[in-house]
Amino acid sequence: MSAVSTAELEQIFKDKLQAEHVSVVDTSNGCGQCFEATIVSSQFEGKSLIQRHRLVNESAKDEIARIHAFSQKTLTPAQWAEKQKQQQQ
């Protein structure tokens, strides 16, 4: 089983979810088995958290099946802008 890369996951989320911001961090010390992702997409508008997570999981189902752990934060562009604003204060 080959390792999954952060770049591979980032590209999938950008392409399949039209994400305007994606941050994927390998939390497995580089072995490609544990990832944390923050994904900002207008496709999340009006969707519940579980619906958002299902969209993400479906978009990268083959890659997620090859890793040990995957956690995600899914935000709309408005939620992302608010979060950025709060961090600047």
Q: 6-56 pLDDT, tens per residue?
A: 999 999 999 999 999 999 999 988 777 899 999 999 999 999 999 999 999
Q: What is the pTM of this model?
A: 0.91
pLDDT of residue 1: 52
Q: Phi and psi at residue 68, in whole multiples of 5°?
A: -85, -45
User: Can you tell me the distance from the alpha carbon of 37 to that of 25, in angstroms, rounded to the nearest whole number?
Assistant: 6
User: Which CATH number is 6-88 given?
Assistant: 3.30.300.90
CB 9 within 8 A of CB 35: yes
* Burial of 36 from C-beta contacts in 10 A (0-12 / 13-18 / 19+): middle
Strands 34-40, 21-26: pairing is antiparallel
Q: Where are the domains of the chain?
A: 6-88
